[in-house]
A and B are shown apart, each in its own frame.
Chain A
Amino acid sequence: SQTIHQWPATLVQPVGSPLSLECTVEGTSNPNLYWYRQAAGRGLQLLFYSVGIGQISSEVPQNLSASRPQDRQFILSSKKLLLSDSGFYLCAWQGAGSFGYEQYFGPGTRLTVT
């Protein structure tokens, strides 16, 4: 069966520090991968999605970036964090070629920028 992992689970970082969040998927090949951010008590904002290795689509201009160095690995990064980057970051995957169908979410990373 398929499993999605995210780490770390929680993170507290000072303003201006770098960020690296990792997401890996097991049990499937060539998944579509997504990064979302959720502010407290709000819905999900799509940040990036990827349909293959090295292919990244950005939805929101910001100081974050994403990379997909391997088929089942999706990384969210920042060179310098802002206070506004605080939030709950969720990674999700979807079966290859199945845009528009259900997404499967990881457990999330809660980021607090101080």
Chain B
Amino acid sequence: SQQGEEDPQALSIQEGENATMNCSYKTSINNLQWYRQNSGRGLVHLILIRSNEREKHSGRLRVTLDTSKKSSSLLITASRAADTASYFCATFPTSGTYKYIFGTGTRLKVLA
């Protein structure tokens, strides 16, 4: 099963509102990354947060990481219709394997 589990599975908000989505994981990680996927397209890397970091910002994105709770959150502020997409977290475990583990994603819909 996928290590990363996003919550909620789907989210619908009005333009201008903030969107928050969460990711939980099970094993120790080296880092956690968030990706965006527009419908029928490839994934686009948004932000990477290392295990020794607690918060990171990039434009309207804010990511937090709580390694004690094995969880992360992605906040998109002042959302726009163009933010409509699926958002995935991906963890890179410390177990020595070379694979990322992707969650099942949160489908965000921003209504104009």
Contacts and interface: CB of A to CB of B under 8 A. Distances in A.
A90 B98 contact: no
Interface stretch (A64-72, A79-87, A102-110): A102-110
B104 A43 contact: yes
Interface in A62-102: 88, 90, 92, 99-102
B99 A59 contact: yes
B85 to A, nearest CB: 13
Contact of A43 (B45, B98, B99, B102): B102
Interface residues of B, number: 24
A110 B102 contact: no
B105 A43 contact: yes
Question: Contact residue range for chain A?
Answer: 20 to 34
Given A44-B43, A49-B99, A103-B90, 5 more contacts: A32-B98, A46-B99, A51-B98, A90-B43, A102-B33
Interface of B: 2, 4, 30-31, 33, 35, 40-45, 48, 88, 90, 92, 98-100, 102-105, 107
